[in-house]
Amino acid sequence: DTEVTQTPKHLVMGMTNKKSLKCEQHMGHRAMYWYKQKAKKPPELMFVYSYEKLSINESVPSRFSPECPNSSLLNLHLHALQPEDSALYLCASSQVGGFRVPSGYTFGSGTRLTVV
């Protein structure tokens, strides 16, 4: 299995809703990432998990709450979002090693989130 699976593919939520985005991989990767991509902009890193522990939080507002329950799963819990949070949310995974392996990340197809 060489895929990263993200669900749902599309999500519309109100500003008072609570929802979660899910990401799953079975490649044995121990680093997982959340990226946010707005239209015509580059993907921007939000969070990095390494060995199921949060390694990097790129100053993301607390209305986004990541969770890594095990080595295959990564969730992003959403609460009290704003319309400007509407974007494509991409999950990715990669190896974590003591040496650099720039084979790149494996990305999921993303969740298109619309906040109304």
Nearer to other proteins, 64 or 105 (CB): 105
Nearer to other proteins, 87 or 90 (CB): 90
Nearer to other proteins, 75 or 109 (CB): 109
To other proteins, the closest distance from the beta carbon of 104 in angstroms equals 3
To other proteins, the closest distance from the beta carbon of 80 in angstroms equals 27
To other proteins, the closest distance from the beta carbon of 17 in angstroms equals 24
Binding site for other proteins (CB under 8 A): 4, 6, 9, 31, 40-45, 48, 50, 55-56, 90, 92, 94, 96, 100, 102-110
**What is d(CA 40, CA 84) in angstroms, rounded to the nearest whole number?**
15
* DSSP per position, 67-96: EEEETTEEEEEEES--GGG-EEEEEEEE--
To other proteins, the closest distance from the beta carbon of 46 in angstroms equals 12
CB 95 within 8 A of CB 48: no
**What is d(CA 91, CA 20) in angstroms, rounded to the nearest whole number?**
13
Nearer to other proteins, 13 or 96 (CB): 96
Q: Which residues contact 47 (CB under 8 A, 6 or more apart)?
A: 33, 34, 54, 56, 57, 58, 60, 64, 66, 76
